[in-house]
Amino acid sequence: MSEKVGQILIVLFLLIFTLLCLLPFLNVLGSSFATSGEIATRPFIIIPRTFTLNAYRYILSTPTIFKSIGVSLFVTVVGTFVSMVLTSFMAYALSRKYLHGRSFFNFLIVFTMLFSGGMIPTFLVVNNLGLIDSIWSLILPSAVSAYNLIIMRNFFQGIPNSLEESAKMDGCTHWGVFFRIILPLSLPSIATISLFYAVNYWNTYQSAILYINNPDKWPIQVLLRQIVIVSSGMNADASSVDIVPPAQSIKMAVIVVATLPMLIVYPFAQKYFVKGAMIGSVKG
């Protein structure tokens, strides 16, 4: 009986916690379809009394937003691919105990998690490389994450060395071992790290503010910030967003537009997410 009561209490606690996480987003979603008057009179909206698409019409009424979505998609897809290639190569090399200087390189990677060059030195490096106002400035400076690299390295270390030895006895090279054995066995870790990178690239904001001056190359997050500023009546370049300052619901619609792509992608990677993150973090 005590075990059943405990399970019921755990389920109730998880349901309450889930509602606490879900209700704010439902409020944002409901407010994005509500009229300005309803938002002003109702502090919390889940189902609006009067549905309206005015906020989304404002957002989608300009080709500028489609350009920004295209930039964000390019940065997310290409950036995730580049990051995964570099991270997997480095993680595989560092997971091999026979690599000379392995401890030294691992120390350097962990060191970057504690101390970084900072904003100004990074900007100077990007500027000297000629990447200012280039889409690649949103990808290359953050192409490898030390945290993700360590997770993938630990995952690779958990794969039995006997598999690699057997493959080499059959004539496999290091490339063959990596592509034919290591990668197929690492799908949970790859899916998890890819999701981490994709979310990071999709939410690119600070890098775009620092390195991108041309509004045509703004990612979606920066453009949505401009829309929110314009809708709030604050000083901003309204010509860069091509809209008339909309109602309060535009802010809610902006949040929905910014988070919806990741919400769509996440369920497809969820089955790999917990397994990949836990194995990579525990082993090693």
pLDDT at 137: 92
pLDDT(245) > 50: no
Distance CA 41, CA 248 (A): 12
Q: Which of 41-55, 71-85, 142-156, 191-205 shows the lowest per-residue confidence on average (mean pLDDT)? A: 41-55
CB–CB of 247/34 below 8 Å? no
Q: Which amino acid is at 237?
A: D
pLDDT band at 234 (very low <50, low <70, confident <90, very high): low
Between 44 and 282, name the one with better pLDDT.
Answer: 44
Given a cut of 50, whether residue 244 has pLDDT beyond it is no
Quote the DSSP letter at residue 135: G
Amino acid in the structure at residue 252:
M
Per-residue pLDDT, 10: 93
Provide the pLDDT for residue 52.
Answer: 83
Q: What is residue 283's predicted lDDT score, i.e. its pLDDT? A: 45
Section 136-150 average pLDDT: 90
pLDDT of 273 reads: 61
Which one has a higher pLDDT value, 228 or 220? 220
Per-residue pLDDT at 74: 93
pLDDT tens digits for range 49-107? 888 888 888 777 777 888 888 899 999 999 999 999 999 999 998 988 888 888 899 89
pLDDT in tens, 152-170: 888 888 888 888 888 888 7
Q: Residue 40 pLDDT > 60, yes or no? A: yes
State pLDDT tens for residues 46-56: 888 888 888 88
The pLDDT, as a whole number, for residue 280 is 46
Mean per-residue pLDDT over the chain, rounded: 82
Give the pLDDT of residue 55.
82
Residue 150, CA atoms < 13 Å, CB-side half-sphere = 15
The residue with greater pLDDT, 73 or 172, is 73
Q: Assign 3-class secondary structure to 223-256.
A: HHHHHHHHHCCCCCCHHHCCCCCCCCHHHHHHHH
Burial readout 194-216 (b: 16 or more C-beta within 10 A, e: otherwise)? bbbbbebbbbbeebbebbbeebe
